[in-house]
């Protein structure tokens, strides 16, 4: 038996008593697991979901303090309403909700659905809630952003000319990481103690793949889920780690084995594009124009996990 460092697991979660955490997309998949473990550790968890009935059913199964609020990230009016109704401090925002490699569609506001749901919705939500946030923002990304050729299509951000489900998904996940990078830069410049982090689940078996693409693609993903994917409980570990551990701002966490597809939380790799400050600022400025939401003055104080 080696003396290797102990690998972080759910059992290592600290007590979160007295802390309030919002988890978007908490009515299924990784969001449910994330909400369950945070609530079990003592946090008051707000399940931000599109389907209130489904969210309430999930909340009823959780052990701890929870509430359910409506949020549709594909509708900026819903995002604004959620933020406007928030009162009091918010320790942690977990931007978990997302869609993956779906057929071409548009959000309520006319944006390509994956870019709108996975990036613009969380971008607006984070900035609107930022005056309330005391600790950190965690955004769930994907190692799909490292695939060859993935970039931000600034000349056709909505894939209006030639839509590719996977390219659109990969763009949205790269956008998550550029958002985290620029958010941290702005927080640091403002002298805020709030930090921004990203995490990815590796290849985890969730219902996200079940909503991807056509019938053939769903069958292929179901097979790979069964034989190659790790459990959703393991897939949620990097997010839980990023939401609760002492980490430097701008951190990126993923699984530590098999090319970051499975395992326990560890520092994850960023593509050169995801480390590009010019891309990050350009995307931020474009996102402000598209959402009409700007970086606010964040809280001047707060507590760290």
Q: Which residues are catalytic?
A: 169
Beta strands in the chain (DSSP E): 20-24, 44-49, 65-70, 90-95, 133-140, 195-199, 252-257, 262-267
Cβ neighbours of 300 (radius 10 Å): 10
For CA atoms 257, 261, 267, 272, the dihedral sign is positive
| Burial call 172-202: b when 16+ CB within 10 Å, e when fewer | bbbbbbbbbbbbbbbbeeeebbbbbbbbbbb
Are 274 and 174 a contacting pair, CB within 8 Å? Answer: yes
C-alpha gyration radius of the chain = 18
Show the CA angle centred on residue 252, arms to residues 27 and 7, nearest 5°: 85
Are 157 and 112 a contacting pair, CB within 8 Å? Answer: yes
């Amino acid at each position: 038996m080696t003396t290797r460092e102990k690998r972080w697991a759910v059992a290592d979660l600290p007590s979160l008593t007295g802390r309030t955490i919002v988890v978007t997309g908490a009515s299924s998949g990784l969001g449910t697991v994330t909400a369950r473990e945070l609530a079990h550790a003592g946090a008051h968890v707000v399940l931000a979901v599109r389907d209130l009935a489904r969210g309430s059913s999930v909340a009823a199964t959780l052990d701890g303090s929870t509430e359910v609020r409506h949020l549709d990230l594909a509708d900026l009016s819903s995002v604004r309403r959620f933020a406007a109704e928030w009162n009091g401090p918010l320790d942690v925002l977990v931007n978990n909700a997302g869609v993956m490699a779906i057929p071409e569609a548009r959000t309520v506001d006319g944006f390509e659905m994956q870019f709108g749901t996975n990036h613009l919705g969380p971008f607006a939500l984070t900035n609107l809630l930022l005056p309330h946030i005391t600790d950190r923002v965690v955004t769930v990304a994907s190692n799909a952003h490292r695939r060859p050729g993935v970039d931000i299509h600034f000349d056709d951000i909505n894939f209006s000319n030639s839509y590719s489900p996977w390219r659109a998904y990969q763009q949205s996940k790269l956008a998550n990481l550029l958002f985290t990078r620029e958010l941290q830069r702005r927080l640091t410049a403002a002298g805020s103690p709030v930090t921004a982090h990203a995490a990815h689940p590796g290849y985890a078996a969730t219902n996200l793949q079940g909503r991807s693409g056509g019938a053939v693609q769903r069958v292929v993903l179901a097979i790979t889920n069964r034989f190659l994917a790790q459990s959703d409980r393991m897939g949620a570990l990097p997010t839980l780690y990023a939401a609760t551990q002492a980490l430097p701002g701008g951190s990126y966490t993923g699984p530590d084995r098999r090319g970051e597809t499975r395992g326990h939380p560890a520092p994850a790799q960023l593509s050169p594009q995801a480390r590009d400050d010019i891309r990050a600022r350009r995307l931020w400025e474009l996102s402000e124009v598209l959402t009409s939401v700007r970086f606010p003055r964040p809280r001047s104080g707060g507590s760290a996990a």
